[in-house]
Structure 1
């Protein structure tokens, strides 16, 4: 798979196309390209100066008198230029990398364009579907062109979260009071089911040859920014107050 940097240099139009398909800003590609060109130019100048300094440094021991002093002065002047240019080269590289980290992977050609999951394009359907009569028209529209087995039911299905509360297997309201939104209590059989599914998945993947791993549950900002655009998730990721540590959103991030 090509890196974002490779595509930026060799096929920026593909990155622009991908950004457009995602509904994201295309101009970021031009900005990143501008910084990359400036960085490469700066790096070449820096390497040329270093080469020139090395040549002068080899000449100095062979010289005497005024000529030697002049070469020493020239070497010192080049050293200052190198120092200034090194700072500029690092700045340009950092700006480029910051932009590159905010560019997501290239979208596959088969991915449909849409504003939500309602715009997803089905590939196939499995099993016999139980469709509430109130959703029948939408279901028939979604499955148009597919041979789908289904039955119409008169009662409206209950969502998982509501069923959880009704059966006394969880409590989201109490969790919200003590911990805020997005938390929940699980009780009794659902606790065992949760653990059983986790262990089943772990055992299944281990048998396929994958190495079991429990990663760090927190990451520093710098490595985290190498995985996601952290600024876009500031309100969704929990940060340890007074520490450069963020609670991971998924084990995929530290791995």
Structure 2
């Protein structure tokens, strides 16, 4: 019983430490990570109760922020998160130094969506997002005034995949992601030993972080293909190794 209590205490301290680091980093990813850790820690119990508590906390933050009761630095930082999640038509927005990055990102997303609508089955072609954006392929450009410079991607990788490869490519990528997540889950169920458990949990963290972050940024342009492939292959190797050990026993 004492050993179990020590483990629980150690886990609580780990959660608190990582949450504090996330908030102290003051980056959007750190803030979201800290919030996710708190939810993950408390959702083990009554899920419905904590979901309602989360909704109430979000409403309280919205009311406090709208009434000016929260500190300005906290309100401004939280606003950057909501601004990146809000959908709008860039053609109806006046560009200012404050909203420049948000509007530019939305212009690229909107252009990618138009590509998908015009070529829903096969897309504009792998790697052709900047070409189609600028109209260099003898077609009408998808750019939106005044965003003339063709970036290499649409930030949201799922939308980017749909724009370049159509519904076929988007479904193929989602199937790949689902299979990788299933592989990670089965590896977690079978792994034994603290060393291999640590590697497996780390691999699952990489998969989850890339899958979520790809909603806001295309991480595949950072030459992560080799690393991700190694992580996926490592999870398969770990599961097979554990299965072989169990069969020998």
Q: Which has the larger radius of gyration?
A: 1
Return the structure number with greater strand share: 1
Q: Shared fold (TM-score greater than 0.5)?
A: no
TM-score, scaled relative to structure 1? 0.23
Structure number with higher helix proportion: 2
**TM-score (structure 2 length as normaliser):** 0.23
